[in-house]
Amino acid sequence: MESTAAVEALEAIGASAAALAAELRRTADPGPAGVDPLPDQSDPLQERAEAFLAGLAEVSGMEARVAAVKVHLAAGFAAAEEAMAPPDASVQEQSVLQMSVTAEVAGALTASEGSAARFLEESARLSTDLPLTLAALGSGTISWQHGRIMCDETDGLDPAAVSAFEAHFLDPDAPGAAGGCPAGELTPSRFRAKARYWRERHHPLSIETRHRKSAKDRRLEYVPDRDGMAWLSAYLPADQAAGIWDRTTAAARAMQGPTESRTLTQLRVDAAATWLLTADSGVDSGAEGPAAGSVPADEVSAGGVRSPTAQVLVTVPVFSLLGLTEEPATLDGYGPIPPSMARRLVADGGTSFLRVLTDPRDGAPLEIGRTSYRLTKPMRQCCGCATRAARSRAATTTPWTTTPITSWPGPTAAAAPASAILASPARNTTG
């Protein structure tokens, strides 16, 4: 953000604040006795409520503009300090300078040095790599949370992909611009889901490559907290995390009853702690991996941990299931996962699947089959081997109705060719 843009943002903040103050004063001041302060309104209280709600929206935009100004000031301070450093400074001197800049910003913001370091990094990215995002932040059309999501989801993308990412979500006139609700009007969690989906489909590296690299960083972390409590968190593959969450939730619900005073949240963590601390919990060194030969060596779960025997729903493109493409599958409640993970879930014990047709443009479901198909052992084996033998005919086990397919509102299969997707609400997962 140039200094001129920062000045304009500050002027806009001042004008908005003045207008908001005048409006609040108008609705709050009763005026002289016997004079109706709001003669054009039949309901003064409704007018006041609407003014307060409009004020909240205005303050939200002001906060976004203030965040843009803070980004400009932080990036400018870091650039000025770097310019004053000797051109022949050693690596150690540069590191000391960076620590000094971080400490100064932390003091100015009354924040921890870790938070200040992240803010400086985000400010640098917004100032140099994400001009549309910073402009949208300065105009108040997106929030600071949206700006941070843009930084997170463009991390690791090449410059061309970053530009395409920004244009897709923030430039309505760009080719292939995102339809529907503008990015700034989506909740941050919803926007992150859409941004992550786009990122997975356009990242220069396949999701398989990135997953294998990230799986090497799996870890368990312990952080002491106050009042005799502590945090225990795990960074692990998504299918294992989803399975653990489902099993602990199911166990917690089973323990609920009229005499049980603990909440579902408390029961869930109590069940997990019992499993981990009980001597006969069945936890071992992980030597018991998937059945030999059922899954290719490069598709074995991280650490040889079995796929979860829990209620996990995954949607996987049929050609990814057969190993013909590397299009990501979708884990319900999480998002895109590597196709190898979906194939492993099938080979490790998926029991049934449903056939779904989706629009290849946006993944929207077009048709869903009303028949549940049982996964046979040969089908699991062929999913593990990723061969075309998986096209063999499945045995129909549960016909829902005599009508084979129910159509959803939207484009027909004739209007836009759809890709076949397999989904399973059954024990484990199928694709």
pLDDT in tens, 5-57: 777 778 888 888 888 888 777 776 655 545 555 555 567 778 888 888 888 98
pLDDT in tens, 93-133: 888 999 999 999 999 999 999 999 999 999 999 999 999 99
Vertex 6: Cα angle to 2 and 128 (nearest 5): 40
The CA-based dihedral angle spanning residues 335, 336, 340, 343, taken in that order and rounded to the nearest 10 degrees: 50
User: What's residue 136's pLDDT?
Assistant: 93
What is the residue-wise DSSP string for 44-108?
HHHHHHHHHHHHHHHHHHHHHHHHHHHHHHHHHHHHHHHHHS-TT--HHHHHHHHHHHHHHHHHH
User: What's residue 71's pLDDT?
Assistant: 94
pLDDT in tens, 172-195: 888 878 878 889 999 999 999 889
User: What's residue 15's pLDDT?
Assistant: 83
Rounded to an integer, the average pLDDT of 66-83 is 92
Contact criterion met (CB below 8 Å) for 423 and 366: no
pLDDT in tens, 258-287: 999 999 999 999 999 988 888 665 444 333
- Residues in contact with 424: Cβ distance below 8 Å, sequence separation at least 6, in sequence order: 313, 314, 350, 351, 352, 353, 354, 430, 431
User: What's residue 315's pLDDT?
Assistant: 77
Q: What SS3 state is found at 337? A: strand
User: What's residue 264's pLDDT?
Assistant: 93
pLDDT in tens, 320-358: 777 777 778 877 767 787 888 777 776 665 566 666 766
DSSP state of 353: E
**Cα–Cα dist 192/176, whole Å:** 18
**Domain residue extents for the chain:** 3-207, 297-424
User: What's residue 426's pLDDT?
Assistant: 33
